[in-house]
Amino acid sequence: MAVAEPMDATPFLPEAGATLDELARAVEECRGCPLWRGTTQAVLGEGPLDARVVLVGEQPGDREDVEGRPFVGPAGHELDRALEEAGIDRDDAYVTNAVKHFKFKERGKRRIHDKPTYTEVGACLPWLERELEQLRPQALVALGATAAQGLLGRDFRVTRQHGQLVESELAPLVTATLHPSAILRARSVEARREMHQTLVEDLTAVAKRLD
């Protein structure tokens, strides 16, 4: 009989109160779900301990898996542009992901992004909760549907509810907006421009509310 894969990162967490550096080391040993297989490394978040805003993406992409840092590929460049236009310095923000390992399918030599399931996101969330315990940010922004639904509930619809403030224990100010990758996948230049503008507007609204 096949043995069910574990689906919970909790047994791999370090002791309560572990620092971000300790979390970054411990997450490399996480086997709380099968997604670690075939990856280069786990990718914890990055940014200063006193960051006022935490941005949560879906999962590391191919570049992030190789470099071990979040949002350093094409989606990261789109995010950087939007943050700059919104008046948020990326160096003042903590950027992380709901899932810490890159989930992919192999197509020849290429690794193609594969969306993590709701169960995989749930299994990985204890890492994000520990990051947030250390950071205690003023604002948390979920980027895209995977992070939004994992953090704010399965019924959350980013297309309809982006930019809305959500009641949550995660931070005093919680909201969701478009994922930068969705903008890069837009079907036309016009659609891309509009989506980029939406991301900038949602981030600007957050920036204005920060102390």
Quote the crossing angle between the two packed helices 118-135 and 20-27, to the nearest 10°: 160
DSSP 8-state secondary structure symbol assigned to residue 55: E
The pair phi, psi for residue 194, each rounded to 5°, is -65, -45
Question: Binding string, 79-118, against ligand URA, x = CB under 6 A?
Answer: ------------------x---------------------
- 181 binding ligand URA? (CB under 6 A): yes
Q: Which of residues 54-73 bind ligand URA (CB under 6 A)?
A: 57-61, 64, 70-71, 73
> What does each C-alpha distance from 170 to 105, 113, 138 come to in angstroms?
32, 27, 9
Q: What is d(CA 59, CA 42) in angstroms, rounded to the nearest whole number?
A: 10
Q: Which is nearer to ligand URA, 175 or 181 (CB)?
A: 181
- Binding residue (CB under 6 A) for ligand URA from 33, 44, 55, 75: 75
Whole-number minimum distance, CB 1 to ligand URA, in Å? 36
Closest CB to ligand URA belongs to which residue?
57
Contacts of 40 (CB under 8 A, 6+ apart): 65, 66, 68, 102
Tokens of 103: 């989930």
Q: By CB under 6 A, how many residues form the interface with ligand URA?
A: 13
Binding site for ligand URA (CB under 6 A): 57-61, 64, 70-71, 73, 75-76, 97, 181
